[in-house]
Amino acid sequence: MESVVVHTPLGFAEITGDENGLVSITVSDMERPLDIIPEVLEDAVHQLKEYFEGIRKTFDLTLNPQGTDFQKRVWEALLTIPFGKTVSYLELSKRLGDVKAIRAVAAANGKNPLWIVVPCHRVIGSNGDLVGYAGGLHRKKWLLEHESPSKQQTLF
């Protein structure tokens, strides 16, 4: 298993994976030394950089997250939420075929190991509130604003 730490606008992201795909992407405020990028992770680093530069809206990476079958179903459903769009936990539960599973869906969403690439930040409360994000609500807000199709334009 290889890993690399890269600096992003939201903190230091640690990317972990191997030839079978990405296993995790996590972020923290803790300053860490930047690493030499292992060849197997070069594409992931490049695509994340493009995302933050506003060039990339979708990722084309092999993913290999570890979790239960249910968690993997939820994470697959997250991949269907388009860039710049949000869905509620209730809507995500409906898409998975069980409206009563809303708490289990929320819990699986919170266990998503692939920050940004599997866009759990695009899931919000039924009333439109930003709720629950393992990386912190300030990061969720930043990501949703970054993906917003109606960014505030400067007048001058």
Domains of the chain, start order: 2-52 (3.30.160), 69-147 (1.10.10.10)
Mean pLDDT of the chain, nearest integer = 91
d(CA 71, CA 58): 21
Residue 120's contacts (CB-CB under 8 Å, 6 or more residues apart) are 78, 109, 110, 112, 133, 134
pLDDT at 156: 46
What would the two tokens of residue 79 be? 């991949």
* Measured distance CA(16)–CA(33) in Å, rounded: 15
Residue 35 — pLDDT band, cuts 50, 70, 90?
confident
Residues 27, 77, 81, 120: which is the catalytic one?
Answer: 120
What is the value of pTM for the model shown? 0.88
The DSSP output letter for 47 is: H
pLDDT value, residue 29: 86
User: pLDDT at position 56, please?
Assistant: 95
- The pLDDT confidence band at residue 137, using thresholds 50, 70 and 90, is confident
Residue 74 pLDDT > 60: yes
Please determine, for residue 95, whether its predicted confidence score (pLDDT) is greater than 80: yes
64 is catalytic: no
Cα–Cα dist 5/7, whole Å = 7
The 10 Å CB-count burial string (b at 16+, else e) for 53-72 is: eeeeeebebebbbeeeeebe
pLDDT digits (tens, 9 = 90+) for 113-125: 999 999 999 999 8
pLDDT band at residue 151 using 50, 70 and 90 as cut-offs: low
* H or E element, residue 23: strand 21-28
Task: State the pLDDT at residue 78.
Answer: 97
Owner of token pair 């230091």: 12
User: What pLDDT does residue 11 have?
Assistant: 92
Share of residues in the chain with pLDDT > 90 (%): 79
